[in-house]
Amino acid sequence: MPNTTAMHKTQKFIVLVGIILIILMGVYPPWLYIDEGKIEHPMGYAPIWRPPIERHHNTAELFGVKLQLDFQDKTANTIDLFRLFMQIAVLSAVTGGAVVLLRRASA
């Protein structure tokens, strides 16, 4: 007969790890840049306190001299809530499945 207290501790540990991962997902969420035409551009992951910045530098070379023509910075202006909620849903399903499987294994 398996040790049910060990399984119970393992289940608690899995739930705790799941909660910590959800908190980390909230601290480092996926970001979007929505332009004037309402088109979404994924910007990757970054801390909640520092949205990602994408820098574009247009240069040209004229007679061997490199010229900086244009600097464009795009700062992420919204969190990709759909992607964040999907990540949380998948993690919750995996965590819940692991807890249920461990419960069945201990029976």
Look over the chain and give the mean of its residue pLDDT values, rounded to a whole number: 85
Report which of 76, 78, 58, 79 is spatially closest to residue 68, judged by C-alpha positions.
58
Q: CA 17, 50, 78, 39 torsion: positive or negative?
A: negative
Write down the pLDDT at residue 89: 97
- pLDDT 10s digits, 73-99: 778 889 999 999 999 999 999 999 999
Q: Which residue has the higher pLDDT, 10 or 85?
A: 85
Write down the pLDDT at residue 80: 94
Q: Which residue has the higher pLDDT, 75 or 55?
A: 75
Containing 5, the helix (H) or strand (E) segment is helix 4-27
60 pLDDT band, cuts 50/70/90, is low
The arithmetic mean of pLDDT across residues 37-60, rounded, is 84
Q: Which residue has the higher pLDDT, 91 or 105?
A: 91
| DSSP one-letter code for 50 | S
